Structure 1
Amino acid sequence: MLDWLMHWIDQHGYIVLFLAPMLELLFLPVSAEVVMGYGGVLVFQGKLNWLISILAAGTGSSIGMTLAYWIGYKLGRPFFERYGSRIHMGPERIDKAAQWFQRYGNKVITINYFITGVRHITGYFSGITRIPFRTFMLYAYIGAYLWAAMFVSLGKLFGPKWDQYQVLIKKYVLIITIIIAVIFVLSFLYKKYKLQIIEFFTSTFKKGEEIFHSLRRVKILVVVTFAVFLSLFVLMIGLIQDFLAKEFDDFDMVTSFIIHAMFDESWSSLMNGFAFLASFEVLVPIVILTLLWIIFKGKDRMLETIFLLIVVIGGEMWDEGLRRLFHRVGHVASSGHVPYTFPSEQTFITLIVLGFSAFLWVRHVRSIWVRYAVSLMVIVVCILVGLSRIFFEVQYPSEVAAGYVFGGVWLSLNVILLEIFRLFKNNKTNFST
């Protein structure tokens, strides 16, 4: 079947790119992602145009989803209750789909394209459950072109190696989609049940209400930071398990290939600049400036100074201990020295120094835009540092990712401890007065 499709796309390019996703979304046995990926390979070879390929596949997807919607709408629930079980669309599945759309909103239509087995029935269920067509059209068409753009672009990016990596790519796309879906669901639940969530955390801290009575903002900060710490800690345990099971090879191979395909040798000078951001020449002055900020602007100077030193010096010791513990040998450096590189020292140190310094700088700033700007700057710099390590093949992608995770655990832990000590110190002062 796939060979037949590949032959037809070679012969009829845009027509097959248009028909394949349309037919798949009508529940026919066609692998549209493979076809779109192969279309991207033809774009790489100069046989097809990138933009036209995306338009063809996206339009076909949109039409297929629209036809599925109207079929479901016209046949209605009674038809599928009677005959739907023959094609795995019986009453129970319809009820679950209706609850899903009702609970999480219509934005899931966009996400469903990236989940095999779900996108095939999304259009039908949308029609059966009578989602307004204008609403359906908005989310369905956005998802259609995003789906097409992703797989055509990945095919173009990987070129002749698409066949070798397509299974791994689909696996990681699914993982990313699930993560996005989880984030979306959590944000939706927070918006919908905001009062209940706040009430829950308030009751959790009920026993210490006398201490935290006038410090609600700090309470929320501690709770949110603890949630981040817990999430990163769980992820850290997962990374350690994957490391011990030696399951990083596929991730390293695919990620390295993508980065080297996106950034050629012409990026070398810029990447050197990104790597410089993790040097002592940059990080030490930031620590000194942060220390000066604490001296002149800090509210708990001694406490913040102590934690700054703990974060920086203790963080370096923590990272060094981890690398000696895991003993993973990285790429051979130009000097011939082969360091232990799991987790990445550069991404780890950059994250904790910039992250903690930014936290101290903006903690007492009222402008939300300043907070967002500084936070975004820290994220961008950390990403660029990690990108440079992979580009120059100094470290593997898994080591860079581990540096972010282990650094995030250390950073969030110290933020939590700092705020708890600050609360008790202020409370002690209030009682003494």
Structure 2
Amino acid sequence: MMSYAGMLVFEKKLSWLLSILTASAGVTAGITLSYWIGYWLGKPFIAKYGHRFHMGAEQMERLTVWFEKYGDKLLFIAYFIPGIRHITGYFCGVTRMPFRRYAIYAYSGAVFWVSLFISLGKVLGPKWETYHSTVNRYLIIFAIASGLLFLLYNLMKKYKYRIIAFLLDLVSGGVRQVQSLGKAKYAILASFAVFLLLLSVMFGMIQDFVAKEFGQFDEVIYYLVLMIIGSRWHDRMEDFLQIGSIYLHASVIALTFVVIRFKGNNKLLELLFLCWTTAGGVVLNEGLRMVFHRTGPVSSEYGFPIMNTFPSEDTFTAVTVLGFCVFLILRHYSQAIIHLFMIAAAFLLCLLLGISLIYFHLQYPSDVAAGYVFGGVWVSLNVFMLEVRRKLQRSRVSIA
């Protein structure tokens, strides 16, 4: 329904802003009503009839505790999961979630959901009917992935010492001094979690590639990039292509060498891993592209397709070089502003490079996305191995 309203906006039959405001008002009215129905009628109904569908007092207590911890976050994500979004308001009322807390997450999620789908309908126009199933599919995947990531974060937060101890036992054969890890414990745990998450995404992408299921995804993303950016950004897109140049990467690597040289505590280890990660990434990407052997799109810039584009050499290398170098540099700086700036800059540079590759039709969007994911797997694996190796060296020194 929201996407259809967006299509009417595309046809100039409705106002974009007025459509968002009206739809948001309708959605918020509905979820407010469902909350108060659950609040006033839910508990008496469950107390009387809950045993018929296995919802007794004990189960209700567990549900209440769970919603107190995670219910507000679920509200925002649930809009993208059909079926779930229709019952979250009711259960928030049943569990007596404070209305102010409920309203903040539920209303902001409603506005975001409405704005997104109306805007997609506006951008895609009459092609929405062709692409809506693909868009919905990936939005649902995104919502589920966000939920899993949130769950993983909370599990890590709750059981971080147990997880760290297990990982260290696994890789070091008995290093158990978790409390003495300092910075390493966060780097080890975070890098391993990111590695597992991206590894699962990577296997999913390989499965989709083998099954040739990227067709509509590539078409939708390419169309969206052209519609949103347009011809006015052509020159800027050419500039963004230079982010993938060897000169920029060499400059970043050189800067990292300088930082390690003057601030590194374990210079040789960090330099070895820097060389291994960057050089090994080039070899790995070359091998992967030869294995998948995908012919790229026919670019209007060149007039012929580029061979072996999956995963993208450009985004894989950018993620590898920028990601690992930024990690090494930030390892030696504690200022939050430096961390925020460098992470945001690396993320933005990688994103702009990928958009420019899609804009000029040099690579398929799935090639670009695969470059991000495969590169992320490689970087997170090497960060994990570096920090474990660093800890093992310190442990041997302290024992000696």
- Asked if TM exceeds 0.5, the reply is yes
Q: Does residue 224 in structure 1 map to residue 187 in structure 2?
A: no
Does the 8 Å CA contact 1:226/1:413 hold for their aligned counterparts?
Answer: yes
The alpha-carbon deviation at position 322 of structure 1 amounts to 0.8
Q: Per the alignment, in what secondary structure is the counterpart of residue 46 of structure 1?
A: coil
Shift of 1:82: 5.6
Q: Shift in Å at residue 47 of structure 1? A: 1.6
Q: Equivalent residue for 1:321?
A: 287
Give distance in 2, aligned partners of 1:294 and 1:41.
54
| Deviation (angstroms), 1:364 | 1.6
Letter in 2 for 1:332: V
- Which residue of structure 2 aligns with residue 399 of structure 1? 367
DSSP-derived class of the 2:344 partner: helix
| Equivalent in the alignment of 1:386 | 354
Q: Residue 118 of structure 1 aligns to a residue in which SS?
A: coil
Count of equivalent residues: 393
1:37/1:370 CA distance change after superposition, 3 Å: same
State how far apart, in whole Å, the 1-side matches of 2:19 and 2:149 are. Answer: 31
Cα distance, 1:341–1:92 mapped onto 2, change above 3 Å: farther
Give the alignment of 1:235-246 within 5 angstroms.
235-246=201-212
CA contact (8 A) 1:80 1:90 kept: no
How many Å apart are 1:159 and its aligned residue? Answer: 0.9
Distance between the aligned counterparts of 2:87 and 2:56, measured in 1? 14
8 A Cα contact 1:155 1:162, kept in partner: yes
Q: Does 1:148 align with 2:125?
A: no
Distance 1:49 1:315, change over 3 A: same
Classify 1:66/1:300 alpha carbon distance in 2 versus 1 (closer, same or farther; 3 Å). Answer: closer
Structure 1 residues 203, 131: CA separation in 2 closer, same or farther (over 3 Å shift)?
A: same
Match of 2:250 in 1: 284
Q: d(CA) in 2 for partners of 1:208 and 1:90?
A: 45
Which one of the candidate residues 72, 77, 90 is aligned to 1:124? 90
Q: Residue 81 of structure 1 contacts residue 90 of structure 1 at CA under 8 Å; is this kept in 2?
A: no
User: Could you list the per-position Cα deviations for residues 63-92 of structure 1 after superposition, in whole angstroms to 9, with x for gaps in the alignment?
Assistant: 112222233333343335667899xx8847
**Match 1:413 to one of 375, 381, 395:** 381
Summarize the alignment of residues 151-166 of structure 1 with structure 2, pairs less than 5 Å apart. Answer: 151-166=117-132
Q: Please report how far the alpha carbon of residue 230 of structure 1 lies from its aligned counterpart in structure 2 after TM superposition.
A: 2.4
Give the deviation of 1:213 after TM superposition. 7.5
Check the 8 A contact 1:211/1:427 in 2, yes or no.
Answer: no
Name 1:336's counterpart in structure 2: 304
Q: Which residue of structure 2 aligns with residue 274 of structure 1?
A: 240
Aligned to 1:11: none
Aligned to 1:295: 261
User: Structure 1 stretch 297-306 or stretch 211-220: which is displaced more?
Assistant: 211-220
Bigger drift between 273-282 and 327-336 goes to 327-336
Tell me what 2:341 maps to.
373
How far, CA to CA, are the matches of 2:266 and 2:242 in structure 1?
32
Cα distance in 1 for partners of 2:261, 2:23 equals: 59
Q: CA distance change for structure 1 residues 90 and 52 in 2, over 3 Å: closer, same or farther?
A: farther
Two-structure CA RMSD over aligned residues (Å): 2.8
Match of 1:197 among 150, 160, 173: 160
* Larger relative contact order (Cα-Cα within 8 Å, sequence gap ≥ 6): 2
Instruction: Indicate the larger mover: 60-69 or 72-81.
Output: 72-81
Shift of the 104–211 alpha-carbon distance from structure 1 to 2, 3 Å rule, reads closer
**Unaligned stretches of 5+ residues in structure 2:** none
Structure 2 residue 69 is matched with structure 1 residue 109: no
- 1:67 is aligned to 2:30: no
Question: What is the TM-score of this pair, normalised by structure 1?
Answer: 0.82
Provide the secondary structure at the position in 2 that maps to 1:331. strand
Displacement of 1:361 in angstroms is 1.2
Q: 1:306 aligns with which of 241, 254, 272?
A: 272
Query: Which letter maps to 1:359?
Result: F
Assess if the C-alpha contact under 8 Å between 2:306 and 2:362 holds in 1: no
Partner secondary structure for residue 105 of structure 1:
helix
Report the counterpart of residue 328 of structure 2 in structure 1: 360
Equivalent of 1:174, from 140, 148, 151?
140
For 1:68 and 1:237, how far apart are their aligned partners in 2? 40
Q: Do the aligned residues in 2 keep the contact of 1:286 with 1:357 (CA within 8 Å)?
A: yes
For 1:259 and 1:120, how far apart are their aligned partners in 2? 32
| Gapped regions of structure 1 (runs ≥ 5) | 1-34
User: Which whole-Å deviations, capped at 9, do the CAs of 1:163-213 have from their partners, x for residues lacking one?
Assistant: 11122222222111222222333334455x2xx432442365466347877
Once the 2 structures are TM-superposed, how far is the Cα of residue 347 of structure 1 from its aligned partner? 0.2
Match of 2:215 in 1: 249
**Counterpart in 2 of 1:134?**
100
| Aligned match for 1:351, one of 308, 319, 323 | 319
Q: Give the TM-score, by structure 2 length.
A: 0.88
Shift of 1:301: 2.8
Q: Rate the CA distance shift 1:260–1:90 in 2: closer, same or farther, 3 A.
A: farther
